């Protein structure tokens, strides 16, 4: 009994001496976007957490099924945030859901798993209105690629493997799609024949070995209304993925096959006749980048810069926040934003970085965003293009290009280097210390109560030890 009491007191001492050293795992957080959408837009549920050092291999997340919605793809990202003057990294996974029909849907509490930890959402409502999505099969091909050998005849069912690019640059994304097209006025009664076995076997032939892949994670066939040569079709899309060629080797896309069953009724008997469709094979011919340009160091694709600042006119020593997003259809996931360096005029502190890859339409996009704190040291007008710019290979121009910041900062006041200014300190402990009187004592609630508690516990342990010693002698 005495031993248990001693252990209990030692535990209390350790707890109070180390109140900030908790080893509890970081609990995931969940966000919901798209509570008012059309049938062509997505409800997105995102879950994020710090990635544990002992994370196991395989898929670390699990999203629930939602009635009247189907899963259409998963995007992922990573983010770094400044916490206590240190960058803390998180991973983000986002499940995209597409409504089957328009309506108002009451979504119950949902459970999402990340790194074997569970987080639940509150019940919410999603309003879905009817959208219009009409694409043309011809749009799947550049005009130079519209050959009779690839495109099928009008009024027929056909199986199609297509690409949005047939001569991409090395490192430029091209999206492959595997679909079956059935005329809307088709009178034949058909049904799929074990797609759960057929599709995975065919996709093993499709994936190029000399490419980096970003999969749209289609978990069920995506049904789309399309037109081809003026005729309406239903597209059943089984697969969609964006690839990035690692070298200039020719990529051979083989012919894929799909078997359906044709249903015929004779009296009370139902006969099923197997019919097979084949796609036309073709080649992707990547083009070399100019000498000295590496796709692992320079983004390759079409990009735009989105930026904002909370105010353009400030005084020296004041803080402002600059936010930027470098968005495009190239592979930006492995490419980090350049670190901006402080100088005599402006001081920069990176508060947050986020890198996300997400599906949008028929492409996979990358978004590298960052939030930076700026503290001016000197008055004047400063064009931020000197500090913020992104170099990439423009696939439309076929050469290196640069996106510069278009913002200008107007700074008033006097030079801030003539006196102490702790507003620039990233740690809140020292901010404003020059405005405090050294003759005043400030009560730090947490720190002082902590010390008092330690002293009381120390005295109790001495008394307890003395009592135990006295009883032992008796």
Question: pLDDT per residue over 349-388, tens digit each?
Answer: 999 888 888 777 778 888 888 999 999 999 999 999 999 9
- Three-state secondary-structure class, residue 299: coil
Class of residue 8 by CB neighbours under 10 A (exposed 0-12, middle 13-18, buried 19+):
exposed
Q: What was the pLDDT predicted at 367? A: 86
In a domain, 32, yes or no: no
Can you tell me the distance from the alpha carbon of 203 to that of 183, in angstroms, rounded to the nearest whole number? 24
In a domain, 191, yes or no: yes
pLDDT category at 186 given cuts 50, 70, 90 is: confident
Q: What was the pLDDT predicted at 419? A: 52
Can you tell me the distance from the alpha carbon of 60 to that of 471, in angstroms, rounded to the nearest whole number? 57
Residues 224 and 315 in one domain: no
Residue reference for tokens 């592979």: 331
Can you tell me the distance from the alpha carbon of 110 to that of 118, in angstroms, rounded to the nearest whole number? 10
Residues 314 and 263 in one domain: no
Residues 316 and 193 in one domain: no
Nearest of 252, 253, 246 to residue 169 by alpha carbon: 246
- Residue 145 pLDDT more than 90? no
In a domain, 39, yes or no: no
In a domain, 190, yes or no: yes
For residue 8, report the phi and psi dihedrals to the nearest 5 degrees.
-65, -40
Q: What residues make up the domain containing 467? A: 2-21+443-473
**438-454 average pLDDT score:** 63
**397-419 average pLDDT score:** 87
In a domain, 270, yes or no: yes
- Residue 194 pLDDT more than 90? no
Q: What was the pLDDT predicted at 84? A: 66
Least confident of 98-107, 266-275, 276-285, 460-469: 460-469
Tens of pLDDT, residues 380-391 = 999 999 999 999
Q: How many domains does the chain have?
A: 3
In a domain, 47, yes or no: no
Residues 424 and 382 in one domain: yes
Residues 169 and 189 in one domain: yes
For residue 421, report the phi and psi dihedrals to the nearest 5 degrees.
-140, 95
- Cβ atoms 359, 96 nearer than 8 A: yes
Residues 263 and 325 in one domain: no
Least confident of 13-17, 69-73, 160-164: 13-17
**194-206 average pLDDT score:** 87
Residues 406 and 422 in one domain: yes
Structure pTM? 0.65
For residue 440, report the phi and psi dihedrals to the nearest 5 degrees.
-95, 140
Tens of pLDDT, residues 39-97 = 878 898 988 888 776 655 556 888 999 999 988 777 777 776 766 667 677 888 888 88
Q: What was the pLDDT predicted at 441? A: 53
Who has greater pLDDT, 321 or 464? 321
Q: What was the pLDDT predicted at 448? A: 67
Residues 269 and 302 in one domain: no
User: What is the number of helices (H) and of strands (E) in the chain?
Assistant: 3, 31
Residues 350 and 268 in one domain: no
Residues 335 and 457 in one domain: no
Tens of pLDDT, residues 300-340 = 999 999 999 988 889 999 999 999 999 988 876 556 666 78
> Across all residues in the chain, what is the average pLDDT?
79
Q: What was the pLDDT predicted at 445? A: 56
User: What does the block give as tokens for 83?
Assistant: 């916490």
In a domain, 96, yes or no: no
Residues 255 and 319 in one domain: no
In a domain, 223, yes or no: yes
Residues 320 and 431 in one domain: yes
Residue reference for tokens 């031993």: 3
Cα three-residue angle 100-126-40, rounded to 5 degrees: 45
- Residue 146 pLDDT more than 60? no
Beta strands in 84-199 (DSSP E): 86-99, 103-107, 111-114, 117-120, 124-129, 134-136, 158-163, 173-183, 189-192
Q: How many CB atoms lie within 10 A of CB 214?
A: 23
Q: What was the pLDDT predicted at 363? A: 80
């Amino acid at each position: 009994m005495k031993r248990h009491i001693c252990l209990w007191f030692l535990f209390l001492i350790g707890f109070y001496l180390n109140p900030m050293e908790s080893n509890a795992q970081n609990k995931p957080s969940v966000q919901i976007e798209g509570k008012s959408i059309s049938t062509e837009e997505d409800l997105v549920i995102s879950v994020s957490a710090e990635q544990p050092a002992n994370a196991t291999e395989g898929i670390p997340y699990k999203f629930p099924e939602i009635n009247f919605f189907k899963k259409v793809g998963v995007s992922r990202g990573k983010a770094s945030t400044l916490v206590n003057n240190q960058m803390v990294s998180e991973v983000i996974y986002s499940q995209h859901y597409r409504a089957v029909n328009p309506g108002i849907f009451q979504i119950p509490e949902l459970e999402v798993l990340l790194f074997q930890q569970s987080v639940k959402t509150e019940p919410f409502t999603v309003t879905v209105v009817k959208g219009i999505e009409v694409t043309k099969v011809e749009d799947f091909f550049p005009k130079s690629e519209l050959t009779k050998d690839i495109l099928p005849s009008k009024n027929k069912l056909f199986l199609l493997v297509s690409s949005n690019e047939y001569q991409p640059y090395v490192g430029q994304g091209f999206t492959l799609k595997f679909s079956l097209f059935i005329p809307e006025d088709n009178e034949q009664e058909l049904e799929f024949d074990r797609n759960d076995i057929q599709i995975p076997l065919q996709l093993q032939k499709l994936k190029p070995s000399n490419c980096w892949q970003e999969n749209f994670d289609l978990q069920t066939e995506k049904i789309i209304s399309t037109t081809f040569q003026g005729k309406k079709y239903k597209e059943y899309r089984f697969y969609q993925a964006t690839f990035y060629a690692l070298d200039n080797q020719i990529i051979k896309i083989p012919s894929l096959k799909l078997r359906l069953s044709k249903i015929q009724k004779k009296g009370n008997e139902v006969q099923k006749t197997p019919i097979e469709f084949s796609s036309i094979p073709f080649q992707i011919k990547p083009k070399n980048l100019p000498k000295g340009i590496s796709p692992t160091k320079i983004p390759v694709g079409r990009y735009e810069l989105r930026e904002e600042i909370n105010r353009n006119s400030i005084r020296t020593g004041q803080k402002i926040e600059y936010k930027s997003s470098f968005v495009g259809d190239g592979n930006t996931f492995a490419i980090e934003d350049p670190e901006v360096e402080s100088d005599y005029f402006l001081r920069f502190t990176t508060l947050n970085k986020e890198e996300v890859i997400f599906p949008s339409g028929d492409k996979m996009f990358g978004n590298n965003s960052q939030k930076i704190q700026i503290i001016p040291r000197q008055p004047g007008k400063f064009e931020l293009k000197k500090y913020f710019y992104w170099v990439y290979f423009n696939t439309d121009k076929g050469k290196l290009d640069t996106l510069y910041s278009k913002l200008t900062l107007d700074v008033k006041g006097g030079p801030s280097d003539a006196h102490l200014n702790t507003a620039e300190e990233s740690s809140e402990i020292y901010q404003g210390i020059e405005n405090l009187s050294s003759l005043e004592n400030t009560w730090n609630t947490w720190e002082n109560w902590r010390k008092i508690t330690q002293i009381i516990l120390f005295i109790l342990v001495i008394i307890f030890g003395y009592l135990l010693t006295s009883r032992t002698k008796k």
